Amino acid sequence: MIAIDTNVLIAAHREDNPAHSRADARLAELAESGRPWALPWHCLHEFVAMTTHPRIFRPPTPPADALVQVEKWLRAPAVTVLAEMEGYWELFGAVVRESGIAGPKVHDARIATLCRQHGVRVLWTADRDFSRFPWLKTQNPLVG
């Protein structure tokens, strides 16, 4: 199963993003393939926070539009939302210890932990920091 990171969601949504066309096409292709894919709750929350932030985007996405976008993704066939299950905290602690993650990178450890807990083996992301989690293969769908 493939999980999608926030930066790919933002690129697919924001038409002013240089990678918009490619991200939108790749995400649509995945969603329409019928293969299982996943969205971590953490990434959906971050997507809404980032796209609606006036210091990040000018103009920012209106909150109602960001929420509608998330709702569309949640209705896609074969999508799973990754949420914490029993044992999450213990696994999260192990991931933080193993990877040596601290500070802002803890957010990446949260996503990696969810992927590990749900058996996700591939994360689509443009973020190289996930290389600290050897069990999680990353692919950047924004590059050719």
Per DSSP, 126 falls in state: S
Q: Is the pLDDT of residue 6 over 90?
A: yes
Span 13-42, pLDDT tens digits: 999 999 999 999 999 999 999 999 999 999
pLDDT grade for 144, boundaries at 50, 70 and 90: confident
Backbone torsions φ then ψ of 124, nearest 5 degrees: -80, 120
Span 64-114, pLDDT tens digits: 999 999 999 999 989 999 999 999 999 999 999 999 999 999 999 999 999
Backbone torsions φ then ψ of 63, nearest 5 degrees: -50, -40
- What is the arithmetic mean of pLDDT over 35-58? 97
CA distance 96 to 140: 23
Helix (DSSP H) and strand (DSSP E) numbers for the chain: 6, 5
CA distance 111 to 124: 12
Say which CATH class 2-139 falls into: alpha beta
